[in-house]
Chains A and B, each alone.
Chain A
Amino acid sequence: MQVPAQVEYEKAASVEHALSLLARYGPEAKVLAGGHSLIPMMKLRLAQPEVLIDISGLSGLSYLTLAGNVLRIGTLTRHAQLLDSEVVGEHFAILHDAERVIADPIVRNWGTVGGSLCQADPSEDLSAAFAAMKGTMVIHGPDGRREVSAREFHTGPYETVVGPAELLIEIRLPIRPGGGSAYRKVARRAGDWPVGAAGAAVWLAAGGRRIADAGIGLAAVGAAHFAAAEAEDFLRGRPADEPTLARAGEIAAEHCRPVTDQRGPADYKRHLARELTIRVLRAAVSRGLAS
């Protein structure tokens, strides 16, 4: 029987209240959103906070809004809401691709976007998707709000730049012209964490013949900041053709550092990094041409 260790519980009535509770309890407090990453960790005693600060009642933090050319995702938005959103599907196919393979429909009903990101599991799919989209995280702390790029958000496995007295409030994704995106994942069974996964965003120019800019996100293969920056550099300004995409896949695989674990051997994961990168680039280019 798995049960969490004894813990105190505080229900936040507002963002300000949550921040004051975080300031009062310090680093031994953990923020509870959907709980679908944190509670399993607490049951395994891998996480043993002294206090839980429950922000799940802050309904004002659950939203998907398109403001100008920026999609704003509230931190408490549930995975299911992201998957159900037509606006998300229209502009960010990568997020629908990813959400279809994140856990299962029931877990997606309660797990939150912000909770997934803050758990910072190195195999977490949305982290790779947001890295590919070059999103921005908005973090609220005692001194107000600050913005951090998705590439700087994770500082290591299970670690982020969100300080003990801060809350991740919102994720912002830019909509840029000529864009297409896609996500693919290989998992051992339905709903599992990835053995390897890749997401790509491309922004095309010159009538679709040239790649103006690209973003590549990788999950579970030991990519720094969930990204394949060297492959992105290679793609920038090159033609959107098959040899170029194939070379980008090789570069992405060369620069990641997968480790052998129960999900698979390192060389297989490196193979996945290459192959999945090529496939998502191909799909992203195809969607970019259609948009």
Chain B
Amino acid sequence: MKLTVTVNGTSYTRVVEPRLLLIHFLRDELGLTGSHWGCDTSNCGACVVWLDETPVKSCTMLAVMADGRRVMTVEGLARGGSLDPVQQGFAACHGLQCGFCTPGMMLTARWLLDRNPDPSEAEVREVISGQICRCTGYENIVRSVLWAAAHDDRLRAAPPQGRRAVHPRPRHLR
């Protein structure tokens, strides 16, 4: 079945099996391996991407369900060559250890800050309650998000029209 989806501002048209999960479409068809395939059971949140305006667990979506919609992955989080304040927060506060949960954590954090620019620590913990850091580095993840909240206005550029990946696709997938 043919689907057309806009990922990080770029439109892609592919023919896929209806049973293909969105996470595998992003990783295997488009080569966007920033989104991680973790528990496969909607529990861990490593696969979180934005579908239109909200983060979703892409292991629990069929790729065809994204037909005609917009997807943002971690590759689309930086704008105009500069890291999103959330990414800067994770760097500043040591918000990642192994890094496996990080893309999903950052995409959920960006959504939170767009809705609630000044969240409490409890609100940060609540919003990531469906995501697991197997290094158990939650303290620093929460600190990173709060850092981003404190620096968001100053560091965040106006959203450009259509977000583009700043990293090129892996050579073997071009």
Contacts and interface: CB of A to CB of B under 8 A. Distances in A.
Interface of A: 1-9, 11, 32, 35-36, 39-40, 42-43, 52, 54, 56-57, 80, 103-107, 109-110, 190-191
Contacts, number: 84
Nearest to A78: B54
B129 A39 contact: no
A5 B19 contact: yes
Contacts of A190: 129-130
A158 B157 CA distance: 49
A106 B48 contact: yes
Nearest to A36: B60
The 6 residue pairs across chains A and B that have the minimum distance between CB atoms: A104-B130, A9-B18, A109-B54, A4-B19, A190-B129, A110-B56
B51 interface: yes
14 contacts: A7-B19, A8-B18, A11-B64, A35-B62, A36-B42, A36-B57, A39-B21, A40-B41, A40-B60, A43-B40, A105-B126, A106-B45, A106-B56, A110-B60
Given A9-B1, A11-B67, A104-B130, A109 B18 contact: no
A6 B55 CA distance: 27
A104 B90 CA distance: 22
Contacts of A52: 18, 62
B127 A105 contact: yes
Contact of B129 (A11, A40, A57, A105): A105
Contacts of A109: 54-56
B131 A35 contact: no
B17 interface: yes
A105 B64 CA distance: 23
B150 interface: no
**Which of B41, B60, B67 has the most chain A CB within a 10 Å cutoff?**
B60
B65 A56 contact: yes
Contacts of A6: 17, 19
Contacts of A5: 19
Contacts of A8: 18
Nearest to A4: B19
Interface in B85-136: 108, 126-127, 129-131
B30 interface: no
A34 to B, nearest CB: 9
B17 A35 contact: no
A2 B108 CA distance: 24
Interface string B39-53: 011110100100100
B130 A107 contact: yes
Contacts of B131: 104, 106
Contacts of A103: 42, 130
A97 B41 CA distance: 25
Given A106-B57, A109-B55, A3 B19 contact: yes
A40 to B, nearest CB: 6
A54 B40 CA distance: 22
A24 to B, nearest CB: 17
Nearest to A56: B65
Contacts of B19: 3-7, 42
Interface string B121-155: 00000110111000000000000000000000000
Nearest to B43: A191
A103 B41 CA distance: 12
B51 A40 contact: no
Contacts of A36: 42, 57, 60
A9 B51 contact: no
Nearest to B21: A3
A107 B57 contact: yes
B104 to A, nearest CB: 8
Given A7-B18, A110-B61, A80 B1 contact: no
A191 B129 contact: yes
Contacts of B51: 110
B56 A104 contact: no
A80 B127 CA distance: 12
Interface in B1-51: 1, 17-19, 21, 24, 40-43, 45, 48, 51
Contacts of B54: 80, 109-110
